[in-house]
Amino acid sequence: MFIATNRLFVPADRAEEFEAKFRANMRTYLPGVPGLRRSTLLRPTTPDQPYVSLNEFDTEADFRAWVASDSFREAHARNKGIARHVTGNAVETFEHSEDLVLIAS
């Protein structure tokens, strides 16, 4: 599995509108994306932390195809209302490997 995260820095006074717009975009543009297993927006617990968008794909190729898609460009267009709430971001990517999973009881 391939995981892409995006840390999204949003001022507290823009958080409510940001969440509403982000949720609407996820519901509009993510259904049917090939290889996308799950997409989650994590809400920060303190004002100095960013939101984290977490997207799980079957493969890196699926992620790269989504980033190159018209759907991605449309979802991330500045006029969609999300970008104007974000003051900074940082994308990180990860490989998930079953041999690195530890379940503690």
CATH number of the domain that residue 68 is part of: 3.30.70.100
Residue 35's pLDDT is 96
Residue 41's pLDDT is 96
Higher pLDDT, 17 or 90: 17
The parent domain of residue 42 ranges over: 2-100
Residue 94 lies in a domain: yes
Residue 20 lies in a domain: yes
Higher pLDDT, 72 or 2: 2
Residue 41 lies in a domain: yes
Domains held by the chain: number: 1
Give 91's Cβ-side CA count (13 Å radius). Answer: 6
Q: Would the pTM of this model clear 0.85, i.e. be above it? A: no
Higher pLDDT, 54 or 88: 54
Q: How far, in Å, are 23, 26, 43, 88 from residue 16 at the CA level? A: 11, 16, 11, 17
Residue 105 lies in a domain: no
Q: Write out pLDDT tens, residues 42-86.
A: 999 998 899 999 999 999 999 999 999 988 888 777 655 566 677
Residue 103's pLDDT is 79
Tokens 């799980």 correspond to 56
